[in-house]
């Protein structure tokens, strides 16, 4: 029996073992399947997340990194495993510190928990990662590396940075805008205020029971301006009693620490709880609007001042509505238009402001309409005339500008204008003067040059250009003054008008030069007209002197001739004539001047002849040659020609001369010199005439020469002239005897006169005459 039992037992055990093995194997396979699914699930999660697993050996070299690293750093695992150290992705400025940290980490076996650091991606961007990791060991317990998880937190860091920036921006806005924040709990009657709430008034928050129960009066009410306190508190309390869903607004003044008051605009809103129900708490702002209030007051004042100014300024002002009807006009506008504001109000602008174009005579009716249509200011061009209600006319200047409402849309027009009549008259005068010579009334050089270009056309050929120069203008100016010179120029201008045609362009192009443009005029006709001009002018006299001119002309016959070359040719011919005729012309004019002087003062002719004769005799005694004696006779005849420029009443005055009169008289040697020195044959005697009132002692005029520095012939004439004046009756002295005259001459020898000349005059000539 034992053997069958054993077999049965063995069989039973074997069957049981087989069943166990099969069950165990099934369990193992189920565990492996679950593990595989967990691995797949983990890999799927890791592959799709912004985190990656990494391992590094004890050298810091990557030994494993999960594929999800590509999502964060842009690298594939094989680009990092065995290639890059763990710290190679650190940003440049942190590379050294990360390297040291890694070395310490590996050597000390520390655990990393939630460490934030920056890394550089493959394309160079910077990302933030959250690092967690710990060391791992072999079966023998030796540390063989480090294993960890990096999670991309870049978006979170950006959000944190934005939040910080927003908070800083909020704080800055609160400080810069001078705005205080407050929160009020009506149940506990507790008011909390921000630091800016107090600082905007110059206080510190610690000076008040801030954020305490029943502190409303101390923190706010007691700071209110006395007359604002009750209305402000009432508005605040009523907010909770009425509709608290609306916005709370209140305006009042609060006391500053320095004793002044600030205008505050308070705004707030009730808070709701988490379920959306209204609470008994509210938050709000205090905004300092002191500057705005001051600006409002200033604007109000300026508005009133503007209105007052508008009604009193010197320019006329009319304003209209958008329909072009008059709304307002000031007193000046009333005066110019002939309408009162009461009469004009509501009337069309074109009826009150009746403006016509000076050149077309058409009324301008669309001023307001143009401004309203374009929204731009307009200025009417010159040449506009305002007709008043009473038919008076005014040249005006004006500007029309849109009046805009708060939205910037034109709602009317304001016209500012002024009476431009006087300025217009002056403008016309200026325009006339810009093209005319003020002295002669002829066209000026500017007009001549413009007309020369305008007439330079084929239809005006032959085009002749005449140049005229007035001879002796300087002589006339020196002898009689510039007024006489002006008379000479006007006489020449009048002669040009008499001789040339009305359509010829007659101009004064310089001081003593005139030019005439003669369109369609040949040379023969021009030559005859110049002859007529010379004859006409020679018959005219200025201060007894015949008018003399030098002229030249040139004619353009073909289009290809340069008009400027024609001008230069005419000018050159005129200059040639002037130069060739200058000596005889000036000699003739000087002779006429001297004759005019003698005709005006016959006694001067007698005086000059007497001085000439005596100077000749004295020159002979002094041993002068016949040539020198002839020169001194000539000098004596002209020695007082400079008195032409001295007023007749001074020369004929019997009383003592005033300092001013004396000064004018003593200029005659210089004037005589100026008249005569321009002609070569008179150059030498001009020097003697200049010096014939110099004194031996250096006290004479005009150059205070002394002794022998004075030319001998001038010294001779000086002595002889005084002797002749002493021995004849003049306007300022009775005649003296020869002895008395001789005594006077001797008395001033060595002072006024050359003593040697006095001695020869008195002994050899005057005494000889006495013995005779």
- Main-chain dihedrals φ then ψ at residue 180, nearest 5 degrees: -110, 145
Architecture of domain 601-771: Orthogonal Bundle (1.10)
Confidence band, pLDDT 50/70/90 cuts, at residue 2: very low
- What residues does each domain of the chain span? 45-159, 177-294, 313-425, 436-581, 601-771
Structure tokens at 315: 């320019």
Look at residue 30 in the predicted model and tell me its pLDDT: 66
144-199: pLDDT as tens digits? 999 999 999 998 888 888 777 766 666 655 565 568 899 999 888 999 999 889 99
224-282: pLDDT as tens digits? 999 999 999 999 988 888 877 888 999 999 999 999 999 999 999 988 887 888 888 89
Show Cβ contacts of residue 355 under 8 Å, excluding neighbours closer than 6 positions: 363, 364, 367, 380, 384, 385, 386, 387, 396, 398
Report whether pLDDT(548) > 50.
Answer: yes
569-624: pLDDT as tens digits? 999 999 999 988 888 888 888 888 888 888 888 998 999 999 999 999 999 999 99
Structure tokens at 74: 């842009």
599-611: pLDDT as tens digits? 888 998 999 999 9
Look at residue 450 in the predicted model and tell me its pLDDT: 94
Confidence band, pLDDT 50/70/90 cuts, at residue 722: very high
**DSSP secondary structure, 484-522, as one string:** HHHHHHHHHHHHHHHHS-TTSEEEE-SSSEEEEEETT--
Rounded Cα distance, 277 and 536, in Å: 117
178's enclosing H/E stretch is: none
148, 173 contact by CB (below 8 A): no
Q: Which of 38-47, 230-239, 294-303 has the highest mean pLDDT?
A: 230-239
Look at residue 522 in the predicted model and tell me its pLDDT: 95
Mean pLDDT of 460-480: 92
b/e map of 75-97 (b: 16 or more CB within 10 Å)? bebebbbeebbbbbbbeeeeeee
Domain 313-425 belongs to what topology? Beta-Lactamase (3.30.450)
Domain 45-159 belongs to what topology? Beta-Lactamase (3.30.450)
Report whether pLDDT(84) > 70.
Answer: yes
635-666: pLDDT as tens digits? 999 999 988 888 888 888 888 889 998 998 99
For Cα atoms 557, 562, 563, give the angle at the middle one, nearest 5 degrees.
75
Residue at token pair 């007035």: 470
First-to-last alpha carbon distance for the chain, in angstroms, is: 224
Residue at token pair 């492996």: 32
481-511: pLDDT as tens digits? 899 999 999 999 999 999 998 889 999 999 9
Pick 177-294's CATH classification: 3.90.1150.10, 1.20.1260.10, 2.40.10.220, 3.30.450.20: 3.30.450.20
**What does pTM read for this prediction?**
0.49
714's enclosing H/E stretch is: helix 712-726
Rounded Cα distance, 742 and 767, in Å: 9
Lateral strand order in the sheet of 179-185? 212-213, 190-193, 179-185, 278-288, 261-272, 248-255
101, 56 contact by CB (below 8 A): no
Look at residue 644 in the predicted model and tell me its pLDDT: 85
45-159 and 313-425: identical CATH topology: yes
Q: Domain 436-581: give its CATH superfamily.
A: Reverse transcriptase/Diguanylate cyclase domain (3.30.70.270)
Rounded Cα distance, 646 and 474, in Å: 16
């Amino acid at each position: 029996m034992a053997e069958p039992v054993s077999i049965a037992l063995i069989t039973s055990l074997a069957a049981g073992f087989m069943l166990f093995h099969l069950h165990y194997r099934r369990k193992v396979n189920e565990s492996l399947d679950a593990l595989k699914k967990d691995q797949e699930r983990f890999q799927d999660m890791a592959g799709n997340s912004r985190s990656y697993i990494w391992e590094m050996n004890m050298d810091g070299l990557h030994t494993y990194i999960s594929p999800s690293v590509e999502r964060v750093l842009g690298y594939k695992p094989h680009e990092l495993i065995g290639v890059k150290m763990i710290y190679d992705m650190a940003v440049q400025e942190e590379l050294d510190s990360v390297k040291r940290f890694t070395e310490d980490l590996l050597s000390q076996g520390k655990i990393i928990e939630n460490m934030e650091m920056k890394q550089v991606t493959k394309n160079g961007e910077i990302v933030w990662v959250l690092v967690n990791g710990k060391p791992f060991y072999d079966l023998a317990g030796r540390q063989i590396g480090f294993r960890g998880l990096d999670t991309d937190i870049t978006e979170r860091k950006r959000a944190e940075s934005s939040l910080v920036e927003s908070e800083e921006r909020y704080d800055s806005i609160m400080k810069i805008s001078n705005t205080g924040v407050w929160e009020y709990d009506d149940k506990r009657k507790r008011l909390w205020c921000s630091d800016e709430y107090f600082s905007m008034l110059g206080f510190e928050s610690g000076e008040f029971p801030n954020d305490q129960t029943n502190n409303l009066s101390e923190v706010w009410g007691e700071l209110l301006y006395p007359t604002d306190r009750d209305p402000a508190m009432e508005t605040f309390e009523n907010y909770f009693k009425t509709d608290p869903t609306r916005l709370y607004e209140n305006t009042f003044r609060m006391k500053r620490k320095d004793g002044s008051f600030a205008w505050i605009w308070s705004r707030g809103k009730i808070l709701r709880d988490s379920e959306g129900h209204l609470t008994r708490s509210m938050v709000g702002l205090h905004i300092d609007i002191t500057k705005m209030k001051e600006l409002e007051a200033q604007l109000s004042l300026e508005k009133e001042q503007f209105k007052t100014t508008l009604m009193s300024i010197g320019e006329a002002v009319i304003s209209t509505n958008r329909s072009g009807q008059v709304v307002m006009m000031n007193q000046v506008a009333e005066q110019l238009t002939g309408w009162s504001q009461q009469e004009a109000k509501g009337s069309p602008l074109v009826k009150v402001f009746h403006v016509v174009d000076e050149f077309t005579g058409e009324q301008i009716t669309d001023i307001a309409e143009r401004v309203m249509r374009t929204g731009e200011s307009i200025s009417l061009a010159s040449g506009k005339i305002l007709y008043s209600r009473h038919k008076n006319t005014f040249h005006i200047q004006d500007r029309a500008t849109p009046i805009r409402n708060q939205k910037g849309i034109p709602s009317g027009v304001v016209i500012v204008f002024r009476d431009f009549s006087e300025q217009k008259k002056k403008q016309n005068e200026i325009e006339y003067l810009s093209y005319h010579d003020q002295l002669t009334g002829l066209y000026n050089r500017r007009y001549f040059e413009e007309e020369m270009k305008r007439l330079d056309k084929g239809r005006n050929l032959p085009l002749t250009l005449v140049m005229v120069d007035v001879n002796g203008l300087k002589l006339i100016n020196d002898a009689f003054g510039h007024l006489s010179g002006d008379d000479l120029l006007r006489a020449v201008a009048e002669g040009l008008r008499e001789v040339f045609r009305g359509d010829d362009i007659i101009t004064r192009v310089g001081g003593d030069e005139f030019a005439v443009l003669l369109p369609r005029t040949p040379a023969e006709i021009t030559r005859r007209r110049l002859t007529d001009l010379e004859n006409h002018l020679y018959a005219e006299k200025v201060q007894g002197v015949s008018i003399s001119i030098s002229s030249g002309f040139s004619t353009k016959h073909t289009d290809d001739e340069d008009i400027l070359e024609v001008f230069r040719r005419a000018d050159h011919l005129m200059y040639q004539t002037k130069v060739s005729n200058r000596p005889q012309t000036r000699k003739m004019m000087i002779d006429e001047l001297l004759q005019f002087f003698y005709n005006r003062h016959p006694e001067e002719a007698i005086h000059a002849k007497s001085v000439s004769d005596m100077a000749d005799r004295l020159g002979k005694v002094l041993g002068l040659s016949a040539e020198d004696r002839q020169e001194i006779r000539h000098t004596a005849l002209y020695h007082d020609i400079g008195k032409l420029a001295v007023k007749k009443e001074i020369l004929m005055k019997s009383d003592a001369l005033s300092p001013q009169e004396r000064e004018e008289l003593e200029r005659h040697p210089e004037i005589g010199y100026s008249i005569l020195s321009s002609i070569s044959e008179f150059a030498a005697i001009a020097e003697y005439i200049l010096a014939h009132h110099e004194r031996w002692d250096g006290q004479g005029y005009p150059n205070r020469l002394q002794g022998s520095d004075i030319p001998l012939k001038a010294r001779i004439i000086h002595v002889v002239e005084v002797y002749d004046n002493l021995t004849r009756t003049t306007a300022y002295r009775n005649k003296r005897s020869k002895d008395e005259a001789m005594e006077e001459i001797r008395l001033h020898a060595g002072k006024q006169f050359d003593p040697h000349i006095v001695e020869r005059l008195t002994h050899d000539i005057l005494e000889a005459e006495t013995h005779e």
